[in-house]
Amino acid sequence: MVEVRKLKVGKELDCKIAEKVMGWKIGVDPAEDGGASWFVESNGGDWVETGYYPDNFKPSTDIKVAWKVVEKMNCPYIIASTEDGESWVHFGNEGNAAIGETPHAICIAALLTLEDKA
């Protein structure tokens, strides 16, 4: 298992966020072009498309998408700038803090928080 703090910006981290934080699974909609997309379970137990594909869900680099991670965490958080222009992020527990570019730090802090709750 990869240590969360060592995850770099990119597809591996983005997929972990989609699965572990957002609660999505990857699937293929046969009615579409056969390409993979992220699905979320609806209230009725069916899986519906999120509108995101593996190539356009990039919370580790896209701050707009990273804010969706913050919203999904649904807990108190702090995002503060450090002196060198990076961000310090934590959700609820200071021990789960992450430092880095803001979207990347949000993703790492979210995964650390979920690990801590497990």
**Which residue segments constitute the domains of the chain, with CATH numbers given?**
4-23+57-117 (3.30.2120.10)
Amino acid 65: pLDDT: 96
Residues 98-112 have a mean pLDDT of 95
Amino acid 22: pLDDT: 96
Residues 73-89 have a mean pLDDT of 92
Q: Is the pLDDT of residue 48 over 90?
A: no
Residues 44-50 have a mean pLDDT of 82
Among the listed residues 62, 54, 43, 74, the one whose alpha carbon sits nearest the alpha carbon of residue 104: 62
Question: Is the separation of the CB atoms in 10 and 103 below 8 Å?
Answer: no
Q: Is the pLDDT of residue 28 over 80?
A: no
Q: State pTM to two decimals.
A: 0.89
Residues 18-32 have a mean pLDDT of 84
In the chain, beta strands by DSSP E: 25-28, 36-41, 47-49, 77-81, 87-91, 98-100
- Percent of the chain that is helix, strand, coil (3-state, to 5): 35, 20, 40
Phi, psi of 87, deg, nearest 5: -120, 145
d(CA 91, CA 55): 27
Higher-confidence residue of 67 and 85: namely 67
Amino acid 23: pLDDT: 94
Amino acid 116: pLDDT: 78
